[in-house]
Structure 1
Amino acid sequence: MKSTSSLERRDRAMRRIRAFFHERGYLEVETPIRLATPCMELHIDAEPSGDHFLRTSPEIFHKQLLAAGHDRIFEIGKCFRHGERGKLHHPEYTMLEWYQTHADYMDVLAETKAMIAAVWEDAPADWKPLTVSGAFLEYAGWDPAGNYDEDRFDIDLVEKVEPAIKALGGAVVLKDYPIEAAALSRRKPGNPLIAERWELYIEGIELANAYSELTDPVEQRARFLECAEQRKAMGKAVYPIDEAFLAALGNMPPSGGVALGIDRLLMLMAGADSLDAVLPFR
C-alpha cells in the first residue's frame, strides 16, 4: 500500500472533480463495468470476464443516456485494458468521462482547462494548440491527412511528434486528427479528411482524449466493420457490434465528450514519473 498522503491527494482531487461538475449542472451516473459487447477500437483490447468483457470505457452507455435526453453527464469509474502495463499504463485504471450535448470538441476543451485548474492549483496556465497536420509536417516531414499510413503515423507519433511535444513543456493540445485515427469522432465541416478530435498532453504525458461525437449510425457501422476487418487481419479478437449503441446514435444530439485518466492526473500533480507512485495497490 502507498502512503496516506497519496490517498489523501486522491480524495481531495475526487471531491474537487465532483464539485466542479455538480456546480455546472452535470448528473453523475454509473454504467455497467461488465458487458457483452465492448466498443471496437483497433488497438484497444478488452479484458475477458467469463462470457463477457470488462469495459475499456463507459462511452457506449453514456451516448445511450444522451440519446435518452440527458444533457450533461459524468462518471468516475474503473476501466480495464488487456495486456497494458508500464510506467504510464495499468490494466485497471480510473477514468473520468463526461459528455455535454449541443457542444463540440472545442467547447469541451475550454471546460477541460477549467476543470483541471479547479483540481490542480499548479496546473499549466498556457495551453499550446497544435494541429496534427502542422505537427507532423514540422517534426516528421509529412502530412497524414489524405496520405494516411497507419504504421508510419504510429511510429512517427511516438518517435518524433510526442518527443517534440514533451520538449515544448507545459500543456499541449494536439487536435484535428486524420479521420482514420478517430473512429468515434465526426468529420470536420468542410474538410472530410479531418476528424474533430484532440488529445491533451501535459509535460509530454497524454492525459485526455476528446471528440465532437459521431452521431451517424450508418457511418459508425461502416467504421466498426472496417475496424473488425483490420483486427481480424492483425490476429486480434473481433467483438460483436453493439446494436443498441448504434440505434441510440440516431437519437443523439450533437455532443462533445472527454475521457481523462485520473491516475495520470494524480501522477502529474505529485510530480511523479510512474503510476506506481499514486496507485494504492498494484
Structure 2
Amino acid sequence: MAAIPPSARFRNLAQRARIIAALRDFFTGQGYLEVDTPVRIPAPAPETHIDAEPAGDWYLQTSPELCMKRMLADGFTRIYQICKCFRTGERGRRHLPELTMLEWYTAGEDYTHMMAQCEALVPHVAAALGSPLQLSYQGRTIDFRPPWPRMSVDDAFRTWGGCSASAALDSGRFDEIMGLVIEPQLGWPRPVILYDYPAACGALARLKPGQPDLAERFELYIAGIELCNAFTELTDPVEQRQRFAAESERRRAAGKAVYPAPERFLRDLERMPAATGNALGVDRLAMLLTDSDRIDDVVAFVPETL
C-alpha cells in the first residue's frame, strides 16, 4: 500500500506530538509521576499470545507492567509512562512490532476507577486537538460524551457471536469470534467499555469476588478499534506464580519460547498494594484522532522502510 503524501504525514505527526503532550498534561494534572523503566528486561510476563523480542540473553519489554508494579510495591501510588514496547510477529493495519504504549497505575483503586478515568482522559486529549465532544472517523461520528456504554464480554458474545463467552472458549473460537465478529460492532457511535472477561483471559488480573470464573478486566473500544486493556491487579504471588506456570505450559505446548520466571517481580508482589492498571496504544489513539485507517500513517517509520 502506498505511503501517504508528505504533507499528510507531517500533519499526522504534528497531531501525534500534540496528543502525547495532552496525555502528559492529563496525568500531571491528576498528580501522577512520570517514570521511565528499562526497555531491556531479564524476563517478560509469560502470556500465551504475546511473544517477546530477544535482546541477547534478555528480552525487549512487551509492556512495562512488571517494573511498574514493582514500583507500586516500593510505595509509589500514581505512576505513568509513555514508552516503546516490542512484540514479535505483530504486523498489520493496526499492529506494529514496535509500538508506543501509555501505561499507568493507581494504588488503592479497582478497574471501575480506571473506567471513569478513561472517560475523562480521551475527551481531554480530543479537546486539546479541538474536538471535545465529537469526532469524525472514517465518515462516521463518534460521540465522546460520558458516561459511555458498558457491556459484559458474555453479553457481547450472546448478542453478536451466537454463543456464550465460555462456549467460545471451550470450542477454541474465542479469539476468532471476538476479532472477526464482535470487535467491528464495538465503539459506534460511542466508545464502549467491554468488561468482565473469562478468567482464562486475564493472566495478571484479579478474579471477580463471588464470580471466580470472571476476571476484573476491561477493554475500551472506539470505532471498532481496541484502544486499551485494563484490570484490577492480581496481588497474590502464589496465585500469580501458578498462572505464569500455566501460561508457560501453554506456550510450550504451542511450540513457543518459554521465558524465565520473573522472580524479582514475584517476590515484590508480596508487598504490592491493591491497584488498577491500564495499557493504552498511543499509535491507535493517534489513528483515531487523525482520521487514519492505518497505523503506518501515524508513525515516523515502519519496519519496511528501515
User: Any runs of at least 4 consecutive aligned residues in structure 1 with deviations exceeding 3 A, and if so which?
Assistant: 145-148
* Distance (Å, rounded) in 1 between the aligned partners of 2:53 and 2:236: 28
Alignment of 1:1-282 (within 5 A): 3-121=9-127, 122=131, 124-126=144-146, 127-145=148-166, 148-149=169-170, 151-165=172-186, 168-282=188-302
Whether the 8 Å CA contact 1:136–1:144 is kept in 2: the answer is yes
List per-residue Cα deviations over 1:157-190 (Å, max 9, x = no partner).
1232223326x43311110000000100001111
Whether the 8 Å CA contact 1:207–1:264 is kept in 2: the answer is yes
* Distance (Å, rounded) in 2 between the aligned partners of 1:37 and 1:31: 14
* Distance (Å, rounded) in 2 between the aligned partners of 1:91 and 1:274: 14
Distance 1:120 1:140, change over 3 A: same
Matched residue of 2:165: which SS? coil
* Distance (Å, rounded) in 1 between the aligned partners of 2:93 and 2:185: 20
Whether the 8 Å CA contact 2:84–2:101 is kept in 1: the answer is yes
* Distance (Å, rounded) in 2 between the aligned partners of 1:237 and 1:205: 29
* Distance (Å, rounded) in 2 between the aligned partners of 1:10 and 1:186: 33
* Distance (Å, rounded) in 1 between the aligned partners of 2:17 and 2:206: 35
Whether the 8 Å CA contact 2:33–2:79 is kept in 1: the answer is yes
Distance 1:146 1:66, change over 3 A: farther
Whether the 8 Å CA contact 1:96–1:259 is kept in 2: the answer is yes
* Distance (Å, rounded) in 1 between the aligned partners of 2:91 and 2:168: 32
The one-letter amino acid of 2:294's match is S
The one-letter amino acid of 2:250's match is Q
Distance 1:150 1:173, change over 3 A: farther
* Distance (Å, rounded) in 2 between the aligned partners of 1:162 and 1:3: 28
How far did 1:23 drift? Answer: 1.2
Whether the 8 Å CA contact 1:169–1:204 is kept in 2: the answer is no
Whether the 8 Å CA contact 1:146–1:193 is kept in 2: the answer is no
Whether the 8 Å CA contact 2:9–2:297 is kept in 1: the answer is no
Matched residue of 2:260: which SS? coil
Whether the 8 Å CA contact 2:192–2:220 is kept in 1: the answer is yes
Unaligned runs of 5+ in 1: none
Whether the 8 Å CA contact 1:209–1:259 is kept in 2: the answer is yes
* Distance (Å, rounded) in 1 between the aligned partners of 2:120 and 2:157: 28
Distance 1:152 1:193, change over 3 A: same
Whether the 8 Å CA contact 2:184–2:225 is kept in 1: the answer is no
Q: Over aligned residues, Cα RMSD in angstroms?
A: 1.5
Residue number in structure 1 paired with 2:137: none
Matched residue of 1:244: which SS? helix
Length-normalised TM-score, structure 2? 0.88
Q: Percent identity?
A: 47
